[in-house]
Structure 1
Amino acid sequence: MKAVVLHAIEDLRVEPRDERPLGPGEVRVRVESGGICGSDLHYFHHARMGDFPVREPFVLGHEAAGTVAEIGSGVTTVAVGDRVAINPSHPCGACDYCRSDRENLCADMVFLGSSRRFPHAQGIFAETFATHERQCVKVAPGTPSRVAALAEPLSVVLHALSHAGPLLGRRVLVTGAGPIGALSLAAARHAGAAAVEITDVTPEPLKAAEALGADRTHNVAANPGSVADPARPRGRFDVAVECSGHPAALATCLQQLAPGGTLVQIGVYADARATFPMDVVMTKELTLKSSFRFAREFPVAVAMLGSGRLALDPVLSHEFAIADAMEAFRTAADRRKSMKVHLRF
């Protein structure tokens, strides 16, 4: 089989890899579509994620869907020919976090396409991928593979929004209109938010947000004060979902949250030493929440995508054949050109 392998900074190669034999309870999925995530781009540009460098040739990717091509002994939940989305999260199932329904905080997590462990947890950007049947969630008939491959980022969003509490009738601000911000917008609207507004510093992602139904979009580079309402100087949003990982966006969220509001932080900061205006947090009695990956939301995300209840075509901007992986990654890195880029296998 062929796989998309990172060897060094911007040294991405499509090269052959051996298929390993299946063990008991395992299945082999013929991968059909894989979404390029911001973490994949980080590996591509820096050959590391935070304190964890890439130390061996490394298959990228953790967002994928395909068709079951082979099953091992004892497999009962899927059959050859089933279309599935692959859950990249492999918690241990035995630690205190796993046993308290917080698998995303697992003390011994194996997350596909991650350099945190060595040998690395190789990713899914390959023509076939072998995994345990419990990682495969059946996809509703007729669901395009690249839609099903959105299950992982949608799971991240659903987990984050769960920290905000019920959104019915609430006013929501999303900062950062990339794929996670766009999915946050769509999911908040689906959850009954009275209004959802979104910010970014480039106009192109905001056009996609408009197509997704944003009540208002704000280009804060062109008009830094557009989010504020002089009639509500202490803020006008009940919930802010910070998806950009930029200090200026964080400041906007804290300024524009109404007293008693909730901030949910999803975006990852390039400099982890972000500062908070704690007097604002204290005097408005804001609630600060963080969100990391997802716990048990993956099957829910697959079901939502299969139902068609979320119209996400504006998020699906590009698709490239595996042979054009370098072009795909360069396109995904250009926010003026792309939203969510998928590889076709």
Structure 2
Amino acid sequence: MLAARLHAAHDLRLEEVAERPLAPGEARVRVAMGGICGSDLSYYNKGGVGDFSVREPLTLGHEVSGVVAELAGDPLQLAVPGLAVGARVAINPSRPCLHCQACRAGRSNLCRNMRFLGSAALMPHVQGAFSETVVVRADQCVPVPDSMSLTLAACAEPLAVALHAVHRAGELTGRHVLVAGAGPIGLLCVVSALFAGAASVTVTDLFERPLEIAREMGAARTIDVRADPAALEQAATDLGGFDVALEATGASASLIGMPSLMRPGGRIVQLGMLPKGGVPLPANLLMAREIDLVGSFRFHEEFGMAVAALAGGRIEIGPILSGTVPLARADEAFQLAGDRQRAIKVHLEIG
């Protein structure tokens, strides 16, 4: 099969790789659509993401959908309702061990033995799904209705990330929320926060085009912090401080400045992947205002929630969809996805 494999920063090659046989309880999915994530872009541009660096050729991609081509085991025994050869599915890229303490506590996103599609965290790397087929455990396949496009199904993963961040934020009904960063995850945090009952969402970014999309998705205020840095402090003053902040940029300066924008008793949720090393925080301000600072990493049960919300039209994400590019032009797709002025979410058309 063909796969888009990264050898080093800016060295993405379309290569033939062997398909592996199925183990019991696994499914082979013919991949249809694959969304290019911020972590994929980081691997492409920097050769790594966060603390993880590419040390061997890595097939990228974890936001994918497709059609089941083969199953190893009786569908009834696989305990996935509706799963059969020919089923259209969204693929959950998380493959937790299901046995460790975190898994048994219902927090499988923190599994110490996690195998996540397209990740260089382990060696050998866990190969991703920007390939003509991918093998996953059967319970990673979530059937989607025929009425749901496979492009939309491939968006379940990033929406799940945003929904998990909102869950980590706590009760949002009637709250004023700040979202730092109008990239794909930040924009999905906007609709997720509003879905959870937020009274208003303020969004910051460095570019006007993503902020236009944020307004389309329901943001009450948008602030270009490069053009008007004082506007964010004024917005916080007008509201008496933000109740909740979702940091989706992964920029140290963004996190450092957040405590001063919060009301006493507020909560900051860090979901953007920060650079290597430490971040100097105003800890006394966190202490004196009793501001909670919590992390949000990937997702757990939110993946199924995301599929259901998209399939039922309860969350609308159309404004972030920026087009599709064939797998054969993967390098071009990555360059487009990295242009904040032209694109938000670019998909590879694989099947």
- 1:195, CA displacement in angstroms? 0.5
- Which residue in 2 is equivalent to 1:204? 209
Contact kept? 1:23, 1:73, Cα under 8 Å: no
Identity of matched residues, %: 49
Deviations 1:207-246 (A, max 9, x none): 1111111111100100001122389389421111110112
Gaps of 5+ in 1: none
Note the alpha carbon deviations across 1:97-135, whole angstroms, 9 max, x for none.
111111111111111101111211000111111212111
The answer (yes or no) to whether the contact 1:33–1:149 under 8 Å persists in 2 is: yes
Query: Compared with structure 1, are the counterparts of its residues 280 and 38 closer, same or farther at alpha carbon in structure 2 (3 Å cutoff)?
Result: same
Partner of 1:158: helix, strand, or coil? helix
Please list the CA deviations of residues 281-329 of structure 1 after superposition, one character each: whole Å capped at 9, or x if unmatched. 1222211111111122111111111111111111111211001100001
Alpha-carbon distance in 2 for matches of 1:37, 1:237:
28
* Secondary structure at the counterpart of residue 213 of structure 1: coil
Give the aligned residue type for 1:285: E
Aligned to 2:30: 30
Counterpart contact for 1:202–1:219, Cα < 8 Å: yes
Q: Would the aligned equivalents of 2:252 and 2:275 in 1 still touch at CA under 8 Å?
A: no
In 2, Cα distance between the equivalents of 1:4 and 1:134?
A: 25
- Specify the code of the residue in structure 1 equivalent to 2:144: V
Once the two structures are superposed, the pairs formed by residues 266-277 of structure 1 within 5 Å of their partners are 266-277=271-282
Cα distance in 1 between the residues matched to 2:285 and 2:166: 23
1:173 pairs with 169, 172, 178, which one?
Answer: 178
Partner AA of 1:167 in structure 2: L
| 1:310 partner letter | I
Question: 1:206 corresponds to which letter in structure 2?
Answer: L
Retained in 2: the 8 A contact 1:140–1:303?
A: no
Q: Who is 2:317 aligned against?
A: 312
- The 1-side partners of 2:62 and 2:175 are apart by 32
Q: Structure 1 CA distance, aligned partners of 2:276 and 2:302?
A: 29
Separation of aligned partners in 1, 2:226 and 2:50: 27
Superposition pairs of residues 16-165 of structure 1, within 5 angstroms:
16-76=16-76, 77=80, 78-165=83-170
* Equivalent position amino acid for 2:16 in 1: P
1:213-292 matches, cutoff 5 A: 213-229=218-234, 232=237, 235-292=240-297
Q: Per-residue CA shift, 1:52-97, capped at 9, x if unaligned?
A: 3322221101110111122222233311221111111111111111
Structural RMSD (CA): 1.6
- Residue 134 to residue 165, structure 1, CA distance change in 2 (3 Å): same
- In the alignment, the residues of structure 2 paired with residue 133 and residue 253 of structure 1 have an alpha-carbon distance, to the nearest angstrom, of 41
Question: Partners in 1 of 2:208 and 2:281 — Cα distance?
Answer: 28
> Which residue type is aligned with residue 186 of structure 1?
V
Number of paired residues?
345
Whole-Å Cα distance in 2 between the matches of residues 51 and 167 of structure 1? 32
- Which of 190, 193, 200 is equivalent to 2:198? 193
Q: Any idea what SS the aligned residue of 1:15 has?
A: strand
Deviation at 1:25, TM superposition (A): 1.7
CA distance in 1: counterparts of 2:144 and 2:183, whole angstroms: 25
Q: Is the 8 A contact 2:22 2:72 kept in 1?
A: yes
Cα distance in 2 for residues equivalent to 1:281 and 1:117 = 34
- Does structure 1 retain, via aligned residues, the 8 Å contact 2:58–2:125? yes
Q: 1:248 to 1:48 in 2, by over 3 A?
A: closer
Counterparts of 2:290 and 2:96, CA distance in 1: 35
Deviates more, 1:176-185 or 1:160-169: 160-169
> TM-score normalized by structure 2?
0.94
The CA distance in 2 between the partners of 1:2 and 1:109, in whole Å, is 25
SS of the counterpart of 1:134? helix
- Pick closer, same or farther for the CA change 1:271–1:26 going to 2, 3 Å: closer
